[in-house]
Amino acid sequence: MTLHSETLLDHACLIVHGPDQPGLVAAVTALVTRNKGNIVSLDQYSSDPEGGDFFQRVVFHRPDLLATLPDIEADIEETLRPYGMQWRLTDQSIPKRMAILASKSDHCLLELLWRHRRGELPVTIPMVISNHTNTAEDVRSFGIPFFHVPSQGPDKTEAEARILELLKGNVDFVVLARYMQIISEDFLDEIAVPVINIHHSFLPAFIGAAPYRKAHERGVKLIGATSHYVTKDLDEGPIIEQDVARVNHAMTAADLQARGAYVERAVLSRAVQWHAEDRVIRHGNHTIVFTDRP
């Protein structure tokens, strides 16, 4: 659970997906072995007993990994091409670069910064960008750069351009830690890295604005939070993780919001961690998540 780049030295993660075929697992494990790798963990999933899609995540330890990566990659390509599989190999000792976009609320933002400082998130955080300034001091106290990009008026083009300028080339994925601005399709196309959001309801219930108010009006007995990849369809992207908390008749919409903050920060943290550890594979509008949840 606690991760340090040191302990992940010489560890690689191989993700394989494509049409399921007999012998795939053996082909991959043989590949790892002949490249002197020792398999540390292996997860797989097939969407159907026959003719389904196959997904695999293999983590292996290989001394002198860095020096041999090109050879291993060539071998993977040669081995998997006949099967028509897609793959990607990542050096687990190289943390992903994660930018955080935030607004006034600090609960998701601070939780991520704090887990990162504890060494529990295998990422670097090159920057936090907010359309408010209230969290600047907190963010900088963690040694993380803070940029203020206000988003005034209905036209977000300028603000998005400024954010893109800051992010482009500097990040491997972006986290919306209760960022209260809608991201344009153009922005998603331009940034071209995964964007993870936390929505403050149990999706697909209460899509859109003010979910706690809507939950209060409907009189639900549980509230939830959902972390998902952002797509052009608002709150419709592939779900990574969800959780709930119990509420009752005596709680106001503001109480639901206060209680929900604890669910949001936990759900987003888990989603970010699993993404950073290459545990999440997108498949259409679904996710395959090889969690380490006990």
Minimum separation from the CB atom of position 158 to its own copies (A): 32
Minimum separation from the CB atom of position 160 to its own copies (A): 28
Q: Which residue number, 166 or 245, has a Cβ lying nearer to its own copies? A: 245
Active site residue 10: no
Tokens found for residue 96? 């992903």
Q: Which residues would be at the binding site for its own copies (CB under 8 A)?
A: 1-2, 22-23, 25-26, 29-30, 32-33, 36, 38-42, 44-46, 49, 61, 107, 110, 114, 118, 120, 137-138, 141, 202-206, 218-222, 224, 238-244, 246-251, 254-255, 258-259, 262, 266, 285-289, 291-294
Catalytic residue among 43, 75, 138, 235: 235
Q: Which residue number, 186 or 243, has a Cβ lying nearer to its own copies? A: 243
Q: What gap in Å lies between CA 148 and CA 181, rounded to an integer?
A: 14
Q: Write out the DSSP string of 194-224.
A: -EEEEESS-TTTT-SS-HHHHHHHHT-SEEE
Residues 6+ apart with CB under 8 A from 254: none
Residues 6+ apart with CB under 8 A from 260: 200, 212, 223, 224, 225, 245
Q: Which residue number, 122 or 238, has a Cβ lying nearer to its own copies? A: 238
Q: Which residue number, 39 or 210, has a Cβ lying nearer to its own copies? A: 39
Minimum separation from the CB atom of position 154 to its own copies (A): 30
Q: What gap in Å lies between CA 222 and CA 145, rounded to an integer?
A: 37
Q: What gap in Å lies between CA 235 and CA 292, rounded to an integer?
A: 26
Contact criterion met (CB below 8 Å) for 63 and 29:
no
Minimum separation from the CB atom of position 61 to its own copies (A): 7
Q: Which residue number, 166 or 220, has a Cβ lying nearer to its own copies? A: 220
Minimum separation from the CB atom of position 259 to its own copies (A): 6
Q: What gap in Å lies between CA 260 and CA 223, rounded to an integer?
A: 7
Q: Where are the beta strands (DSSP E) in the chain?
A: 11-19, 38-46, 53-61, 86-91, 96-102, 123-124, 128-130, 146-148, 173-177, 195-199, 222-229, 239-246, 280-283, 286-289
Which residues are catalytically annotated? 235
